[in-house]
Structure 1
């Protein structure tokens, strides 16, 4: 597949496709939703860092959360979808910007492996410092990142994901690995229209993204340096201990 030559799949289309491929599905099959939902509902004030289309906070409000809910993300098209729910405050910005709300939240979350979008050491430090500032004393920061030992990227180029948008368009989504530099994996997500009568798929869009795979010692070093203590840290969504078989690093850190 080659790069598309025209813009036939917009940023808004990408945001809609994300929701189709990643339904939050509270109470359903998503283990991450089952992990985050009760923690969000139990906190009087919640900040979703890298909220995307806002699924987690919209689900919390629909489930009866009556406190302050704020989502922040740099993706304008994703926020446009999030803003269809006007019962949550949606803000354009990055993780390093959340220090604008000092001491305002009991809980901050970063779902969907969004933590892996913090690439440079300075990005990680600035983002964690800002999250700590946004939390009240003793506040919690819950997030996950893929464990590098599982080498999840090796499976991403295998197979095609079929998706259908609400308007009936059928799409094929595939992935390729462009490069691996240190602990950063450069991934291309390729969205295509299926070919007809054995014709090749027509590429509509290629989105390239770097993802950082921090190991446990380096991750915990960043957290300690930012003024966090590890409250819980697991190798999966239901409390599995970290082990050589862990595919995830699921962390709840406490502001000191």
Structure 2
């Protein structure tokens, strides 16, 4: 079942890109991974296609899948003229006649799968769609390296929107330790208007992640702390996992 609250962050795709689009080293990391394992690539939970389009421009045969209609509509506009397909579907149930050399999730999209059942359904999809020995790459925030304490409203930063207006971003966070789910409430203030959105993300610790991937027939080949391939340490803020289908 889709948690529609978790799609609220994706109602304004053009400004989404302006707020979150600066991680070019991330795009290069996934491009390097794709080149190291030649063949078709699938970007699950691709959003507006920031990474998808970067790979397509480099000649990678790639397809993007996402559940958010508005994000895909903007992805298609940005990708005009490129040989890339965008498909609206739920990553937990997506089926295809194609088999892929590499499948990846980025933007911490793995954390949008909030239950054990959701995570297993996602990994089943990935396993089914990968070629034998195919590569599965994704990142997730590391709970051991993040502040999970409850917080009242704090200023998180600013960005400049499509009309050149500086938008102040603030919000609150509330963590449910029993479910490992963080609930963020985000407030964006334009001065003349304000918008609110909610999103929930699951923080899976690395030991649980290892057990989950092993149980779903993946082998973890590498784990990094960032896009520069810094070796993972227990207190790193991120876990970037490079896995192989068994």
State the structure with more CA Rg.
Answer: 1
User: Shorter-chain-normalised TM-score: which range?
Assistant: 0.7 to 0.9
Kindly state the Cα deviation for residue 231 of structure 1 after the two structures are TM-superposed: 1.2
SS at match of 2:111: helix
Partner of 1:81: 74
SS at match of 1:95: coil
SS at match of 1:79: helix
Kindly state the Cα deviation for residue 91 of structure 1 after the two structures are TM-superposed: 0.8
Partner of 1:20: 18
For 1:1-256, what aligned pairs fall within 5 Å after superposition? 14-23=12-21, 26=24, 30=25, 32-42=26-36, 43-65=38-60, 67=61, 69-84=62-77, 85-86=79-80, 87-98=83-94, 100-101=95-96, 104-153=99-148, 158-182=154-178, 183-194=180-191, 202-203=193-194, 205-256=195-246
In the alignment, the residues of structure 2 paired with residue 165 and residue 13 of structure 1 have an alpha-carbon distance, to the nearest angstrom, of 14
SS at match of 1:162: strand
1:39 to 1:20, Cα distance in 2 relative to 1, 3 A: same
Per-residue Cα deviation, 1:104-143 (whole angstroms, up to 9, x for no partner): 1000010010000010100000110111101000000000
Deviates more, 1:216-225 or 1:230-239: 230-239
Which runs of 5 or more residues in structure 1 are unaligned?
Answer: 1-9, 196-201
Query: TM-score with structure 2 length normalisation?
Result: 0.86
Aligned length: 233
Q: Is the 8 A contact 2:64 2:87 kept in 1?
A: yes
Q: Is the 8 A contact 2:111 2:140 kept in 1?
A: yes
1:13 to 1:225, Cα distance in 2 relative to 1, 3 A: closer
